[in-house]
Amino acid sequence: MALTPPGHGFGTDAEDPVVRQYRFLLRTAPQDALEAAHAEALPQLSPQLRTAILHTAQEHLLAGLRLGLDDTDQLAHLLTLGERRVPGVVLAGYDAAVLRRLAQAVIDTEAVFGLFGGYAVWDGAEPDQPEVTGDMAGFDQAWHQALGQRVHHYGIAGPASSDSWGGFGGF
């Protein structure tokens, strides 16, 4: 079942175009490019904004509790993988203004250059979460397959291999 956070209008005509582009990147871009974009964007944001982003990620992912404001590479990793694991889980927690500023900062990075192929035909729907049982072994592959089926349906090239999706290691 897809997560549709209340109050943000995800996947609707009322959705902020910047947030929609950001969600597109979160759902279709390779993990390494997403992390690089976030790692580039986060230090450019004010400490107050980074605090809101960090606290929301910690609250909604129940991870990264030891991270500080200057741990932007680790926060980038946590954000992107958390959103891959459960689409919309972190985005739903952000105030609309915080989400828009984060989205704009990420979109403005060099790391996302060339990653908007297929955006025009993307329906904006969140991918279904893969069914995973037991110790989460194979989650990355299941996620990649679920996302790949949805993404390739719209003619968007996905990542080259499931290895590029990474894991939650260390958080």
Record the tokens describing residue 4, joined without a space: 């549709």
Structural domain containing residue 148: 17-165
Give me the number of domains the chain comprises. 1
Does a structural domain hold residue 10? no
pLDDT, tens digit only, all 171 positions of the chain: 333 343 445 555 688 999 998 998 888 888 899 999 999 999 999 999 999 999 999 998 888 889 998 999 999 999 999 988 888 888 889 999 999 999 999 999 988 877 766 665 666 776 665 565 555 555 555 545 554 544 443 344 444 333 333 334 443
Say if CB 76 and CB 42 are below 8 A apart.
yes
Residue 66 contacts by C-beta under 8 Å, 6 or more apart in sequence? none
Residue 41 contacts by C-beta under 8 Å, 6 or more apart in sequence? 102, 105, 106, 108, 109
Does a structural domain hold residue 66? yes
Does a structural domain hold residue 143? yes
Does a structural domain hold residue 2? no
Does a structural domain hold residue 3? no
Does a structural domain hold residue 11? no
Does a structural domain hold residue 12? no
Does a structural domain hold residue 98? yes
